[in-house]
Amino acid sequence: MRYLIIIIVFIFFSTGANSKIKNDRLWIQSYNDCHEMYNDPRIKNNFSKQAHSNYCKCNVNLIFENFTVEELKIINNQMRFKAEKDRIKILQLNEKSREIATYCSNKYLR
C-alpha cells in the first residue's frame, strides 16, 4: 500500500491532472515497491514469488489505467500523516482501489 504514496508523489511532476498515467519510471518504482512487500513473512509464507509478482503487475497496471492524477492526489491528501492501518482503510473505502485489489488478488493470489 505504501507504493501508492510514491506513485502519487511522482505523479505531481509527471502528467496532466485528467489524463491516463503514463510514466515508465514511475511504473517500475511502483511495481518494485509493491513487490518489496513480498519480504513480509505473512505474504512470503502464503504466496509464491511469481504469484506476488503477477499480482503487483496487475495492480500497478490497473491503477495506471483507471485512476487519473487528480483522483490519486485526492487519495494522497486523505492518507497524508495517517498510520499504515488507516491508509489501508482509506484505500479499501475507495471503490476503484478495492476493485483493483480484489480483481488482482483473485486472479493471482488464490
End-to-end CA distance of the chain: 19
Model-wide pTM > 0.95:
no
The tens digit of pLDDT for each residue in 68-83 reads: 878 888 888 888 888 8
The tens digit of pLDDT for each residue in 11-43 reads: 554 545 555 778 888 888 889 988 888 998 988
